[in-house]
Amino acid sequence: MKKTLKRKTLTDGELSITFERDRYLDTEKVARGNGKQVVLIDRFYPSSKTCSCCGYKKKDLKLDDRFWTCLCRGEHHDRDINASKNILIEGQRMLREV
């Protein structure tokens, strides 16, 4: 009879997935309790690099650039505020498609 080894540890990748899933489930639970809905957008969606006014994408934006100006319309953006607007817009777009 062969012995089977039982793995007792998780790899870093498995831990990351487990924590990510648990955080999503907690967020979803709180949202439902408040009559809201959670929408997951693509992890690599360029929310910081996209102008929330016209959709222009600034490809050369670096992580240390906190502010930038849209070359298309001249709008001045705070990176974090612009990203939050784009995440909202993308989530609303995804809900319309469903």
State the pTM of this model: 0.72
Distance CA 68, CA 57 (A): 11
pLDDT in tens, 44-55: 999 999 999 999
pLDDT in tens, 72-98: 999 999 999 999 999 999 999 999 997
* Angle, CA of 67, 70 and 71, to the nearest 5°: 130
Return the closest-CA partner of residue 61 out of 72, 46, 76. 46
Assign 3-state DSSP to the chain and report helix, strand, coil percentages, each to 5: 40, 10, 50
Encoding tokens for residue 21?
A: 């899933």
